[in-house]
Each structure stands twice: as structure tokens, then as C-alpha cells.
Amino acid sequence: MTLFEHLREFQARLFRAVLGIIAGSIVAWIFYDQILDIVRAPFDLVVQSAEAQGKTVVLAINGVTEAFTVQLKIVMVSGLVLSLPIWLYQLWRFLAPGLKGNEKKWAYGFVAAATPLFLFGAWVAYQSMTQLLEVFLGFTPENVANIININEYLTFIIQILVFFGIGMLIPLIFVMLNFAGLLRSGTLVRNWRWLLIGCLTFAAVATPTPDPITMLLVATPFLGVVIVAVGITALNDLRRRRRDKRLGLGEWADDEVSALEEPVVDPSDLRPSPLDDDLL
């Protein structure tokens, strides 16, 4: 494809992705009240717990236009989530235009795996949102009311949900690199310590609580997804080795092939020939 054809392809993919986001946003606008109740649920639990302890925690709106801004933000983010399969598929098809016929199925597999993984990570974050809020709001001094701006609360919860969702996509990247032949399962197995440290570090950053039990509970689903990804890469490597053996490929190591391809030179061939003397 020429540069102009790439730009035209990008324009078409972007237009379809935007149409999907707009359609998802329209659906979110219709069900805005239900979505707002879901977003507020973790905070309402914190309010009930604070009232039982004699503390004041309030979710407030400041400004005339902030209510509209909040609704617009919720609708846009919900539209992005609802249209996730659409724009993710368009993105993948634009980034991988040179795949072979059988490899084009990866686009469908990528979308089919990325969507539930991202939603699962967001669900894990949502389930732990109440504990996170209790930890942060627990630093409020006595006899001090904690008035939280709803815009700041939305920004906080969106960042946490997106952070967890993207974290769940990292093992999928391992699988895609393995299918592309750029990463072997043996490499992942040999570096299992770094994978474990990475999962624990990610859980520690995602749940800034001093409780190690909570950190381990958050790290468990991430570690489980990584183990499943390593298992898939191992099965794919096994399938690839069986295919190469059936086709007669991969029977020699790289150094052995190089040795076989190097011509054997007889020392007698290095002696000057009579023709060289005549030329001189």
C-alpha cells in the first residue's frame, strides 16, 4: 500500500471506530441514571460506614455547569467501554494489514480475548473500590467533614478501572507475540521470578493499602491470567514444533546448518596455478 492508501485506510477505520463510540454513547445517555447508580455504589457504601462512625462524607457538585460535565464524562467513558469490541477490532485491523490469510483470524481472536479480559480487570477494580476509598478517606481528621467533588471522584474511579483493565491485557500481548514468533514460552518460564515480581508490583501500585492480604487478593487474578497465557504459549510452541517436524524443518541447530552450508576447502586448492605464472 502507498502512503495515500494507508491514510485512506486509517480514515476509514477511524470513522467506523467513531461511529461505534457514538452509538455506545447514545445507549449510555439513555441509561444514564442506571450507570450513575453503579458508579456511585462504592461511594455510598463508604458514606454509610462513615455515618455509623459519626463522620461526614458527602459527594458534592460545585458549579452551575458541572452536573452537565459529569453526565457528559460518564456518557463518553461508557460509550468507549460499550464500543470496545468495535474500535479495538478496527485498531487491530489497521495495525496488522500484512498478515497472511490464516493469520487474519488473529484479529477476531484478539478482540474476543481482549474485551472480556479488560472488563474482568475493570470488574476486579470495581470490587475493590470501596476498600480503596475507605483507606484514603480514613486519613480525614476528627470533626472534619469530607466533601468530595463528584468530578474528582469520577476521575479517580476511571483511572483505577482503566489501570486494572490494561493490566489484564499484558498477558494477551505475550500470547500475540508468541503467535507472531517473537516470544517463546521457554523465555517466560525461565523468567518466572520477574513475572511474579511484576504481578506483585502491579498489585501494590493498584491497591495502595498497607494490608498485604488485600495486595495478594488483587495479585491473584493477575497471576492466574499470566499462568494461563504462559500455558497457551507453551501449547502453541508444541504445535509449532510438531508441524516443523512433520515438514522436516527444525531438525538442525543454527550452528549445525551453518557448518553444513560452509564449503570444505582442500589445502591443495590454495596452491598457485600455472595460469597465474603466465599472467605475471
Residue 105 binned pLDDT confidence (cut-offs 50, 70, 90):
low
CB-based contact 160:132 (threshold 8 Å): yes
Examine the pLDDT at 197 and tell me if it is beyond 90: no
Helices (H), 128-191: 129-137, 150-179, 185-190
Phi, psi values for residue 54, rounded to 5°: 80, 20
Instruction: Show the cell assigned to 278.
Output: 603466465
List the single range of 18-22, 33-37, 218-222, 269-273 with lowest mean pLDDT: 269-273
Q: For residue 58, what are the β-bridge partners?
A: 147
Q: What pLDDT shows up at residue 212?
A: 74
Whole-angstrom Cα distance, residue 138 to residue 209?
A: 11
Q: Give the closest residue to 195 by CA, choosing from 223, 217, 232.
A: 223
Full-model pTM: 0.66
Packing angle, helices 150-179 and 212-246, rounded to 10: 30
CA distance 97 to 137: 49
CA neighbor of 27 nearest in space, from 69, 84, 108:
84
**C-alpha span between 91 and 88 (Å, rounded):** 5
Q: What are phi and psi of 57, to 5 degrees?
A: -130, 120
